[in-house]
């Protein structure tokens, strides 16, 4: 029997170590790039987009629910925690064929990444629900919107329920009414208001009087005959005197007629959602099954809610199959309800509602119990 002895030269060992070190350095450098700053740029936009889309879907779904007299429900995302880890293994394997004096060296590397997101949810309820959903929106928020580039006809048409005795479809703020709401005079008011606003002839804001900040409306002096007609129209509709200066009250209490005051009643987020929900394209099957009721005019015809100040700027469409032209869609009662990607007015109205809802959200400490769920991810 022949016995062979082989030895590994020092140069071969050095070559193996060098090869292994170079490979490890290259791989770990790439890992550090992914695991360091790049991890933020890769994950932050993805989470941001996912949360934004989820909240928009929730808001749209709740609008649809209200049309079907179903309870709206809001689930806040309190926190998102994503822990990342990296694991690596390094080894080297030396092989030698029988009767062959040369040595084969094979480095082995293993790297694995893992990401473990944890999401915390809290139902919006109690004082939080009251403050952010059921309470009237803040007049200052409405003022900021209408004076910062937003279409004032859109803002006022959705957010204001009444001014003095001038009604903006108040019955639309609840379940679908059986009879046509009052809104025609309010539309006329908006027409006059928009003309004056476009010509910088009306100002609404805060003014200091005797050390106290008060809200007022001012008509600016003008010789524009059309503007004078619009000012007089507003005075007539609101039962005001011939002054060019009026106080604004948003107390929400009993309206006391005063020819020098605009008594403004603002809608809550819940009211706005209900108002907007009236203009939904209801599937014929749902009408046949009496899942919803319809508003009728005095002559017995189906009332078109797109004629109202809010309906003119908002429309939700429906489809039995998932729509291809949806900007945002939700599935409810075996049908798809969506905002069309070509309907910019509806998208603007929806964004306005979302911003006002976000502005009115209370501190999360007033919310209900927190539900924490791990979300697997690799």
Q: What is the percentage of the chain residues whose pLDDT exceeds 90?
A: 58
Q: Are strands 371-374 and 104-123 parallel, antiparallel or unpaired?
A: antiparallel
Strands 166-167 and 160-163 come out as antiparallel
Neighbour tally for 152: CB within 10 Å: 18
- How confident is residue 365, by pLDDT bands cut at 50, 70 and 90? very low
pLDDT tens by residue, 201-212? 999 988 888 778
Average pLDDT over residues 198-224: 90
- Whose tokens are 């004096």? That residue is 101
So where are the chain's domains? 10-123, 136-374
Helices (H), the chain: 10-35, 37-67, 126-129, 139-146, 152-159, 184-198, 225-238, 269-277, 284-288, 344-360
At 88 the pLDDT is 60
DSSP 137: P
Q: CA-to-CA distance for 338 and 318, rounded, in angstroms?
A: 6
| pLDDT tens figures, 141-182 | 998 888 888 999 999 999 999 999 999 999 999 999 999 999
Least Cα distance to 377 among 142, 8, 37, 39 occurs for 39
Mean pLDDT within 257-275 = 95
212-219 and 202-209: which strand pairing? Answer: antiparallel
Q: Which pLDDT belongs to residue 154?
A: 96
Q: Residue 308: CB partners within 8 Å, gap ≥ 6?
A: 168, 169, 172, 181, 183, 275, 278, 279
Q: What confidence tier does 41 reach under pLDDT thresholds 50, 70, 90?
A: confident
């Amino acid at each position: 029997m022949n016995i062979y002895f082989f030895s590994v030269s020092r140069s071969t060992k050095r070559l193996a170590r060098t090869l292994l070190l170079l490979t490890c350095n290259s791989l770990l450098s790439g890992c550090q790039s992914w695991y360091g700053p790049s991890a933020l740029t890769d994950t932050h936009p993805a989470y941001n987009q996912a949360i934004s889309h989820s909240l928009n879907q929730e808001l749209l779904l709740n609008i649809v629910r209200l049309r079907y007299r179903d309870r709206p429900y809001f689930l806040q995302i309190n926190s998102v925690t994503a822990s990342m880890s990296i694991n690596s293994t390094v080894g080297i394997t030396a092989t030698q064929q029988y009767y062959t004096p040369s040595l084969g060296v094979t480095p082995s590397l293993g790297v694995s990444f893992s990401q473990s997101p944890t999401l915390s949810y809290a139902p919006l309820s109690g004082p939080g629900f009251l403050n952010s959903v059921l309470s009237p929106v803040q007049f200052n928020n409405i003022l900021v919107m209408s004076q910062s580039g937003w279409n004032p006809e859109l803002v006022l048409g959705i957010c204001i329920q009444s001014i003095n005795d001038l009604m903006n479809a108040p019955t639309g703020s609840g379940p679908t009414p059986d009879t046509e709401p009052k809104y025609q005079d309010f539309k006329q008011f908006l027409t006059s208001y928009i003309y004056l606003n476009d010509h910088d002839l009306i100002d609404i804001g805060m003014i200091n009087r005797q050390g106290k900040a008060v809200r007022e409306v001012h008509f600016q002096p003008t010789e524009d005959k059309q503007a004078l007609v619009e000012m007089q129209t507003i005075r007539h509709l609101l039962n005001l005197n011939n002054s060019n200066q009026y106080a604004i009250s948003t107390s929400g209490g009993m309206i006391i007629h005063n020819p020098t005051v605009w008594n403004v009643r603002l809608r809550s987020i819940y009211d706005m959602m209900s108002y907007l929900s009236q203009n939904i394209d209801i599937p014929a099957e749902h009408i046949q099954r009496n899942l919803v009721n319809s508003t009728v005019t005095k002559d017995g015809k189906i009332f078109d809610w797109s004629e109202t100040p809010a309906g003119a700027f908002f429309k939700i469409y429906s489809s039995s199959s998932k729509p291809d032209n949806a900007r945002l869609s939700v599935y409810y009662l075996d049908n798809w309800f969506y905002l069309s990607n070509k309907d910019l007015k509806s998208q603007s109205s929806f964004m306005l509602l979302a911003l006002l809802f976000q502005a009115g959200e209370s501190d999360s400490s007033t919310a209900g119990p927190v539900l924490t769920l791990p979300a697997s991810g690799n």
